[in-house]
Structure formats: C-alpha cells, structure tokens
Structure 1
C-alpha cells in the first residue's frame, strides 16, 4: 500500500482528537430550564388584598397562590415580564404599562411568584454581576441611566440567573 492511500485511518481518528480541543465547562452540563411564563397583570383582588390576608385565604382554600420561584427562576421570569410588558427607565411602572427591573420584581412579588427572601437573593446576584463589571451603584439606579438599553438589562438578568443557578439557587 502506498503512503498516499493511508489518510483514511487518520480521518477516522480526527473527531477524537478534535474533542480534546473543545472548551468544556468544569462541571457536568445541565439543561437550562424553560423560562417561566410572565404572569398577567394582578387582578384588583391581588392589588387590594394585603399579603397576610391573601395568605389567610390560601390557608382556608379560598385563594390559590402560584408556586414561588427560586432566585434563578425569578430572574428568568423577570426577563419574560419585561419582554411581555415592555421595559422602561426612571419609573417602576410607566403610564403605558412598561416596567423597570424593580417594577417587574414588584409585580412578581405581589402576585406571589417570588418570596421576599428569594427576591432579595436575586438582587444580591444582580449586584454581584454589576460589581464584576465595575458598577458600584444599585441595580435600579443603573437601570435608569440615560444611555441604558434593554439588551444590557437582558444581559444583566441572564448572567445573574446563571450565577444563581451555578450555586443551586
């Protein structure tokens, strides 16, 4: 056999060699869960009833609260809320129904999609991501900067969700 006909075995080993060149994460790959759906605007009952009274109605079986999400799920759901209703700066809720990050979090907390403790952890994850990029201001002040774009907001929330998910939250 001539040396010119021997490339076939080398081609068979090429994929195995190529897998060593790929960059893989340190831990096992996990599937990213689908983002939770953005809830509808709260009903008048959800807006007017104080949370303790609503919790009492839940205990009596007269009200059904949604399952609260972990911080990573809350951050992902915040993205879907902003995509559904629109994003704004300088106001929690604009007259047209758009929201800033904090407004979307308020909506999710008011409708029972997140607990105050999980929301606080989500805020910590957002602040951590901002600090990695040299931003020392609170996330809601960063949201309101005049040059801010929704793509930056989306990136912040996505990175914060991955940060939370990486530690099991």
Structure 2
C-alpha cells in the first residue's frame, strides 16, 4: 500500500491508497458515538471531494466501542454508501468480541450492503483487489460524478452534520 493521509480524528485516520485507488480507514482506540460521528463527517468530506468506489475499513486497532454506534451506523451513515459511490467495502474485524459483534449487528440490519468482513488486512486486500474490474486510476485522475449526484450528496452530508449537532446539543442539555 502507498498511503497518503487525507483526514485524521481522535479515532480515525483516512488515507488514500495510491497503489490501489481506494480509501484505507484505520480506526483506533476506544470509540464512542460522538467520536465516530465526528470521524464519519470527516470521511463524508473526503467523498464530497471525489468518489472512491472501494474502501478498506480496518478495525484491528479498536480497543472498545459503544453499542449505540451500531444503530447510528446502520441508520444514519452506512445507507448512504451507494450515493457516495461506494461499491465494495472490506471490513476487517476488531480483535475485541464487542467489536466483532457490532459488525455482525450492523450487517444484520443492512443485509444487501456492500460490506464484506475479514479477519486480517491481508485477506481484505486480496479480496478488494479481486473486485476491481479495471486497473486503479491513480490519485491524479479522479472518476467523475454527475452534478446532480454531487448536489444530493452535499445535501445529505449537510443534513447529517445538522443531525449530529442537534444530538450533541441535546446531550449537553441533559
């Protein structure tokens, strides 16, 4: 992998893999819903800049995760993968039982999603490479997205940002 850092939060580093033309998401630490929401907003910003059809989502460095993250991912974030242009996601399990169970919970709520799970990064890389129907484009030649799809995606990202802000304000009041 030839990684170029695009964004970073307290729990997520988002890289563009120049060799494979995909996003590499490296999650770490003990994550809470607010931390995941902030990280997902940063990820969404990457998709506003350009489409990425393939994602390698690595949870090997996760040490803990809140259960409410599964519900939020399944209802508020992951259903928009297709709109963003995501075709294949290789999701590498967390070594923790809770993280493993969370992935299976999310998958049970999204039965027709683009998510496929793996035990190791090496397995995920091999599978993701085999899903390519063409050679990687390289960072300097981004794929195109129609203006209408781009506008819809921008609206959905803004709506997500507003929902997260409202939830955080609500939590601060209680």
TM-score (norm 1): 0.35
Bigger Rg over Cα? 1
The answer to which structure has the higher helix fraction is 1
TM-score by length of 2: 0.34
